[in-house]
Structure 1
Amino acid sequence: MTGIVLVTHNGLGESLRRQAEVILGRTLPLTLVSVADQADPDYSLAELIGAIARSADRNGVLILTDLPGATPHNLAMQAAAGDDLPVVSGVNLPMLLKSVSHLDQPAEELARLADLGGHQGIIHQ
């Protein structure tokens, strides 16, 4: 089972997780890292690296972040660089649901599915 680490601004990850659990009717096996306003970046990076280590398995780990270019994304890119882990930014509820529904896939394939789920969840009529 591929691990998922959700790195977001404070409170967003918790809300996404809670709503996904309500929709799916089960507890989700993912790790949250919330980055608070004015958080020490070195502390947050260390926290994220620890979360990745706890979440990784033989299929690897996928990192989802909320806003490209923002602090959670930048920290994720730093933490992922050494191990070449996939990072997908712009997380939304459809992306999270797609991701947790395919945890049997390797991290790179799960990243592709997350991207697909995120895009499929955006409809302009």
Structure 2
Amino acid sequence: MKNIILATHGDLSYEFKATAELIVGSLPNIKCFGMTKEKSATQGKKELESLIEAMDESNLIILTDMYGGSSTNICTELLLSGHEFSLLTGLNLPMLLALVSGDSSDKSVSELTSELEEAGISGVINVGKKIKERIKNNA
């Protein structure tokens, strides 16, 4: 089982974990980090780094909510300073569910992160456009 950190703005990471647990059950391998306006960048970095250092980085996947956001920027700084975890941004529920359901000991972090990218992208669907196309094709 891979180690996972969800790092987002506010309490979003905690809510993503709670929602995933509602669907699949307990997820003890997921830790959460929330960057709030009350935390300085320095405090946030210390908190996130202590979460990371408690884990095997070769088996660690961090999912953040937004490219260019503070959590992603902190993780990027940590990667640039020599940390070796995997980092993906654009966290959505299909991505998280693909992670928790597709994780296995025989699957590498690299294979899994490729699957997560695809699941995250595939989870974005313009339902209104699909309905209009279906109506047009049935007319």
In structure 2, what is the equivalent of residue 16 of structure 1?
A: 16
In structure 2, what is the equivalent of residue 60 of structure 1?
A: 59
Alpha-carbon contact 1:8-1:72 (below 8 Å) kept: yes
Task: Say which structure, 1 or 2, has more relative contact order (CA 8 Å, 6+ apart).
Answer: 1
In 1, Cα distance between equivalents of 2:108 and 2:37: 33
The one-character-per-residue Cα deviations of 1:78-112 (angstroms, maximum 9, x if unpaired) are 12331332211010000001111233232222221
Q: Does 1:37 align with 2:37?
A: yes
- Which is greater in Rg? 2
Code of the residue aligned with 1:6 in structure 2: it is L
Runs of 4+ in 1 over 3 A off after TM superposition: none
Q: 1:50, CA displacement in angstroms?
A: 1.3
Query: How many aligned residue pairs are there?
Result: 123
In 2, Cα distance between equivalents of 1:118 and 1:47: 27
In 1, Cα distance between equivalents of 2:77 and 2:122: 28
In structure 2, what is the equivalent of residue 108 of structure 1?
A: 110
| TM-score, length basis structure 2 | 0.80
Alpha-carbon contact 1:3-1:61 (below 8 Å) kept: yes
In 1, Cα distance between equivalents of 2:37 and 2:110: 30
In structure 2, what is the equivalent of residue 98 of structure 1?
A: 98
| TM-score, length basis structure 1 | 0.88
Structure 1, unaligned stretches of length 5 or more?
none
In structure 1, what is the equivalent of residue 86 of structure 2?
A: 86
Alpha-carbon contact 1:63-1:87 (below 8 Å) kept: yes
Structure 2, unaligned stretches of length 5 or more?
131-139
Q: CA RMSD in A?
A: 1.6
